[in-house]
């Protein structure tokens, strides 16, 4: 099985659905060369896992972005994923962030969702306050408010993997089995981080829910997608205008643009700027 996937499942007789996510080299690529302190990397990895889980439910082409903005030492977490489960993201934090509780790391803030799908006149945006003592708790609160359905999340992230288990109570659950949702939650709460990161979906569900009848669906691959986009950067510079670009060149000797979410650097010297605008100033 691929090391980067979201795999949905359904409790056949309970009207409870779920999914497992595992990010191996995708998670390693997302944090490569960033130098995040361990607490920052852990928060970003857990948020990467839950973003992939939620994006797996996108029904049409589009892009979903989550921004967790806080006033603590971890000021910003950004994860972006499309319907093909192509993931990218970044964190912004103070230097040398030490281990602390999630509320202390994030402080007061908000979770923002932006959804931009084909056919939408403008992107949909939603804001909720940070309510929860973990990334899992924050997103459980978000899901219950946005979908009006109770959900549970169990997440982990270390240097090699980010993974998670998602459970959601569907509308007919109490009619199908009045004790089913409670029972599933109690069993899921026994999960350990090393099991989330180290077991296959089949092994994990078999360990947690040995008495339940579960239907597994095919896994969906997750990829890290953050290519360089010189065309986009050149269009941005053209929109600034030649005079503005040449003023930056005179002051700094080059135009340097750093793409924080992907980690790419774009540099334009005088020759490249001249080529960008053409020899004729009026072109």
pLDDT tens digit sequence for 112-161: 999 988 777 888 888 898 989 999 999 999 998 888 899 999 999 998 99
Q: How sure is the predictor about 200, in pLDDT bands with cuts at 50, 70 and 90?
A: very high
Distances (CA, A) of 193 to 20, 137, 199, 265: 13, 16, 10, 36
Of 75, 5, 4, 17, whose CA–CA distance to 44 is shortest? 75
Domains, the chain, in order of start with CATH, read 4-224 (3.55.30.10), 230-277 (3.90.1280.10)
For residue 279, the model assigns a pLDDT of 45
pLDDT for residue 283 is more than 80: no
Buried b / exposed e over 201-214, threshold 16 CB at 10 Å, is: beebbeebbeebeb
Among 130-139, 238-247, 257-266, where is mean pLDDT lowest?
A: 257-266
* Higher pLDDT, residue 227 or 88: 88
Q: Which residues contact 242 (CB under 8 A, 6 or more apart)?
A: 273, 277, 281
Give the span between the Cα atoms of 54 and 8, in whole angstroms: 11
Q: What is the radius of gyration, based on Cα positions, of the chain?
A: 22
What percentage of the chain exceeds 90 in pLDDT? 61
For residue 119, the model assigns a pLDDT of 74
Of 131, 194, 201, whose CA–CA distance to 166 is shortest? 201
Mean pLDDT of 14-40: 93
For residue 103, the model assigns a pLDDT of 92
Average pLDDT, the chain: 89
Q: How sure is the predictor about 242, in pLDDT bands with cuts at 50, 70 and 90?
A: confident
- Mode of pairing for the β-strands spanning 223-224 and 86-93: parallel
Distances (CA, A) of 44 to 33, 64, 93, 162: 14, 16, 11, 9
Determine how many CB atoms are found less than 10 A away from the CB of residue 222. Answer: 29
Give the span between the Cα atoms of 43 and 78, in whole angstroms: 11
For residue 147, the model assigns a pLDDT of 83
Of 198, 157, 156, 161, whose CA–CA distance to 28 is shortest? 161
Among 14-18, 92-96, 147-151, 237-241, where is mean pLDDT lowest?
A: 237-241
What do you get for the CA distance between the two ends of the chain, in Å?
54
Q: Which residues contact 154 (CB under 8 A, 6 or more apart)?
A: 136, 164, 165, 188, 189, 191, 196
Mean pLDDT of 275-282: 64
Mean pLDDT of 27-41: 92
Mean pLDDT of 4-16: 95
pLDDT for residue 204 is more than 70: yes
Give the span between the Cα atoms of 211 and 11, in whole angstroms: 11
Determine how many CB atoms are found less than 10 A away from the CB of residue 97. Answer: 19
The string of pLDDT tens digits covering residues 49-75 is 999 999 998 888 888 999 999 999 999
Among 113-127, 141-155, 202-216, 258-272, where is mean pLDDT lowest?
A: 258-272
Sign of the torsion formed by the C-alpha atoms of 101, 102, 103 and 108: positive
Residue 82: strand pairing partners:
63
- pTM, to two decimals: 0.85
Give the span between the Cα atoms of 162 and 140, in whole angstroms: 18
Rounded to 10 deg, the angle between the 270-277 and 230-240 helix axes is 80
Three-state secondary structure call for residue 114: strand
pLDDT for residue 278 is more than 70: yes
For residue 282, the model assigns a pLDDT of 45
What percentage of the chain exceeds 70 in pLDDT? 98
């Amino acid at each position: 099985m691929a090391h980067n996937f979201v795999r949905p499942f359904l409790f056949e007789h309970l009207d409870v659905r779920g999914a497992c996510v595992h990010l191996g080299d995708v998670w390693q690529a997302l944090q490569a060369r960033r130098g995040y302190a361990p607490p920052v990397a852990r928060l970003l990895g857990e948020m990467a896992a839950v973003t992939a889980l939620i994006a797996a439910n996108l029904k049409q082409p589009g892009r979903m972005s989550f921004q967790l903005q806080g006033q603590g030492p971890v000021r910003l977490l950004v994860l972006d994923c499309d319907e093909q489960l192509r993931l990218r993201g970044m964190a912004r934090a103070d230097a040398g962030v030490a281990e602390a509780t999630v509320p202390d790391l994030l402080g007061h803030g908000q979770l923002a969702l932006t959804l931009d799908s084909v056919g939408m006149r403008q992107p949909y945006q939603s804001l909720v306050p940070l309510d929860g003592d973990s990334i899992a708790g924050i997103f459980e609160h978000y899901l219950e408010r946005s979908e009006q359905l109770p959900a549970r999340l169990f997440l982990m992230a270390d240097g090699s993997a980010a993974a998670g288990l998602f459970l959601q109570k569907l509308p007919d659950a109490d009619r199908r089995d009045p004790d089913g949702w409670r029972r599933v939650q109690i069993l899921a709460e026994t999960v350990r981080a090393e099991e989330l990161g180290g077991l296959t979906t089949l092994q994990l569900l078999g360990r947690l829910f040995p008495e339940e009848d579960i239907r597994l669906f095919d896994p969906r691959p997750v990829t890290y997608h953050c290519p360089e986009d010189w065309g986009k950067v050149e269009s941005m510079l053209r929109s600034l205008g030649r005079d503005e670009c040449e003023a930056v060149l005179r002051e700094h000797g080059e135009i340097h643009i750093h793409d924080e979410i992907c980690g790419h650097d774009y540099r334009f010297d005088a020759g490249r700027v001249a080529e960008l605008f053409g020899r004729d100033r009026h072109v």
